[in-house]
Amino acid sequence: MIKFGPSGTDVAFAAAGLSHTVEVPAFVKANGLDIFEYSFSRGVRLSRETAEKIGDAFRSEGVGISVHAPYFINFAGEDPVKLRATFGYLFSSLDALTYLGGDRAVFHPGSPLGAPRREAMTRLIASMNDFMDEFYAAGYDDRYVCAETMGKINQLGDLDEVIEIVNIADNILPCIDFGHLNARTYGSLKGKDDYRAVLDKLIDGVGEEKVRKMHVHFSKIEYGKGGEIRHLTFEDEVYGPDFEPLAELLVEYRLEPWILSESAGTQSADAKTMKNLYFKHANNK
């Protein structure tokens, strides 16, 4: 079943007098939402005891949880020490995910760091193959890693590159950040045909099953010549993209992704707006 929720806590969470992640699932459920994404942006600093306590709260409320691995992951790096650290960051995220009771960890593929893009992608694919060998050998096959499309032009992670990464192994899902795609293509996502082109390319590239259960990030994002600049809210009327054309297609294609709002401070409200738009179209079918 399709699920909607916030990525991280927002202004409304704080305004309700809440501050601890153990309070998140009740807040998410009270707002009519289904899921939450916990970010390890600057490193995995969550003890097993605390993670299990948080996980118990999520299970009690019937709210799903995913995690975002540290932002400084780079599978395209040449330095073997740093590459080993990248493996560790994602494995640590997967361990914490287990204690939290989830099964999806989002990660940023990496950066060329000045190398030719194709050369960097060749390294990234080789490194991801090695990582997935260790992933399966260590028994992580009940979890998924989700390769995210990136918003800045100089980052690895355009749609074609994510398709290439996702095809490495069964337990890699696409994390399609439509705000990022829109930013790195200077506002190309305007209507149903634009979204349809993305979904059709994904289905052709990785198959219907992975697209059906893909991970999605959505927000309006300001962009410039280098792509993404900053996340906005649904109140913005300049940059986009708009969710409703995508909502119509999710119904038409019968897709059931996890959809996380990454709006700037209004994640819960904007996630609920997306859910309402989706069911407006679903209930008219």
Q: What is the pLDDT of residues 14-27, one digit of tens each?
A: 999 999 999 999 99
If you average pLDDT over residues 209-223, what whole number do you get? 98
Q: What is the pTM of this model?
A: 0.97
- Please check the confidence at residue 51 and state whether its pLDDT lies above 90: yes
Q: Which residues of 253-279 are buried (b: 16+ CB within 10 A; e: fewer)?
A: bebebbbbbbbbbbbbbbbbbbbebbe
Distance CA 268, CA 8 (A): 9
Distance CA 2, CA 278 (A): 9
- Please check the confidence at residue 285 and state whether its pLDDT lies above 90: no
Q: Return the bridge partners of 68, or none.
A: 39, 106
* Each residue's pLDDT tens digit, 33-43: 999 999 999 99
Two tokens at 157?
């992670």
* Each residue's pLDDT tens digit, 120-178: 999 999 999 999 999 999 999 999 999 999 999 999 999 999 999 999 999 999 999 99
If you average pLDDT over residues 83-112, what whole number do you get? 97
Contact yes or no for 181/223 (Cβ under 8 A):
no
- Please check the confidence at residue 30 and state whether its pLDDT lies above 90: yes
Specify the pLDDT at position 284: 85
Contact yes or no for 215/173 (Cβ under 8 A):
yes
**Domains of the chain in sequence order:** 3-282 (3.20.20.150)
Phi/psi at 202 (5° precision):
-60, -50
* Each residue's pLDDT tens digit, 229-260: 999 999 999 999 999 999 999 999 999 999 99
If you average pLDDT over residues 45-65, what whole number do you get? 97
Task: Provide the 3-class DSSP secondary structure of residue 231.
Answer: strand
